[in-house]
């Protein structure tokens, strides 16, 4: 695996721009998959309490025996655990399942604006950071107004905002907003969940031009945009394929062609109403 770039977060820590996602990875398959990804050179793992695989992910990390300081591990707080006290309890549970002393990045999974608890949740995140059990704090699926609120109330800007981004939902405005605030964008479902997009003739043509696969072209597109990605796969060959994107670049023409695929098409829930 060619070397994976690292990006600096607004709190000074560094994050590998590429890693392994684990949404829908079954807990029992996680140890072997994580072990083999770490053996291939992956150093960044993204999980969540809601994925029900933190134990398996933690087991894989422990079995791989890699120095903790070389790894970047993210997990996320699930919606129904929002609120100050509940957040601390939920975090304790996640950390115990992962069998870690700290996580590199902890995210509020969804803002759930109707519940009105994300500000208290954010304050608990800051407490966990003070305690040293979380290195960097961030959010997921936050809209500009949600971000403005927590920044205004606490003076702390999230290190990342993890949002749905792929060529069918390019999120130019949201990514630009994050950038202006000094927040790095993490793209979830970077491959548009592996569906029709991989068969798109334009993507296939660009793939042929570079001698790469459609998945590699889409992943490289995210890298060129400066987003952080962690495609999920439970197939070791695809896990290897997805990481092999650091020996080529897309040119301006490729980027403008992919820009035309934006259809504003969400595959996941709408953050305004979800939760
Ligand atoms: P699998 O786990 O069987 O490899 P996203 O990250 O956008 O949610 O996409 C994940 C989906 O894409 C999963 O269904 C995964 O299936 C599939 N996938 C991951 N990598 C590739 C690849 N290189 N080529 C084709 N499909 C892929």
Domain of 208, CATH number, reads 3.20.20.100
**Mean pLDDT for the stretch of residues 89-105:** 98
Q: Is residue 231 part of a domain?
A: yes
Whole-model pTM: value is 0.98
Q: Quote the tokens at residue 229.
A: 């990605």
Q: Is residue 42 part of a domain?
A: yes
Our mutation pick for probing the ligand 1 site, out of 193, 200, 231, 242, counting the most ligand atoms within 8 A of Cβ, is 231
Q: Is residue 271 part of a domain?
A: no
- The closest residue, in CA terms, to atom 10 on ligand 1 is 193
Q: Is residue 226 part of a domain?
A: yes
pLDDT digits (tens, 9 = 90+) for 165-189: 999 999 999 999 999 999 999 999 9
Q: Is residue 160 part of a domain?
A: yes
Rounded distance from Cα 111 to ligand 1 centre (Å) = 26
C-alpha–C-alpha distance, residues 94 and 109, integer Å:
13
Rounded distance from Cα 187 to ligand 1 centre (Å) = 14
Rounded distance from Cα 195 to ligand 1 centre (Å) = 8
Q: Is residue 267 part of a domain?
A: no
C-alpha–C-alpha distance, residues 113 and 75, integer Å:
21
Question: Based on the structure, what is the number of domains in the chain?
Answer: 1
Residue range of the domain that includes 201: 6-259
Q: Quote the tokens at residue 161.
A: 């905002």
Which atom, in ligand 1's list, is nearest to the CA of 230? 6
Q: Terminus-to-terminus CA distance in the chain, angstroms?
A: 38
Which atom, in ligand 1's list, is nearest to the CA of 195? 12
CB 170 within 8 A of CB 262: yes
Rounded distance from Cα 14 to ligand 1 centre (Å) = 26
DSSP 46: E
pLDDT digits (tens, 9 = 90+) for 74-93: 999 999 999 999 999 999 99
The secondary structure element, H or E, covering residue 257 is helix 252-259
**Mean pLDDT for the stretch of residues 101-127:** 98
At 1, the pLDDT band (50, 70, 90 cuts) reads low
195, pLDDT greater than 90: no
- The closest residue, in CA terms, to atom 21 on ligand 1 is 238
Ligand 1, CB cutoff 6 Å, lining residues: 21, 189-194, 198, 215, 231-235, 238, 241-242
């Amino acid at each position: 695996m060619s070397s994976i770039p690292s990006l600096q977060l607004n709190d000074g820590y560094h994050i590998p721009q590429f890693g392994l996602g684990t949404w829908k990875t079954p807990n029992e398959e996680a140890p072997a998959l994580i072990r083999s990804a770490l053996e291939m050179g992956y150093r960044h793992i993204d999980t969540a309490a809601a994925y029900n695989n933190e134990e398996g992910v933690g087991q894989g990390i422990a079995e791989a025996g890699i120095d903790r300081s070389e790894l970047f591990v993210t997990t996320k707080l699930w919606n129904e655990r929002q609120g100050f006290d509940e957040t601390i309890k939920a975090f304790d549970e996640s950390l115990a399942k992962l069998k870690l002393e700290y996580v590199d990045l902890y995210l509020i999974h969804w803002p759930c604006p109707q519940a009105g608890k994300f500000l208290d949740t954010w304050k608990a995140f800051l407490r966990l950071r003070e305690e040293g059990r979380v290195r960097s704090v961030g959010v997921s699926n936050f809209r500009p107004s949600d971000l403005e609120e927590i920044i205004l109330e606490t003076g702390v800007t999230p290190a990342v905002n993890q949002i749905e981004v792929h060529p069918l939902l390019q999120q130019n405005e949201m990514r630009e907003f994050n950038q202006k605030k000094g927040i790095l964008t993490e793209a979830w479902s970077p491959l548009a969940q592996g569906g029709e997009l991989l068969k798109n003739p334009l993507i296939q043509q660009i793939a042929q031009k570079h001698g790469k696969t459609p998945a590699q072209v889409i992943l490289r597109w995210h890298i060129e945009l400066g987003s952080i990605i962690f495609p999920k796969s439970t197939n070791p060959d695809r896990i290897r394929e997805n990481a092999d994107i650091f020996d080529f670049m897309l040119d301006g023409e490729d980027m403008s062609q992919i820009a035309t695929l934006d259809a504003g098409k969400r595959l996941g829930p709408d953050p305004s109403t979800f939760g």
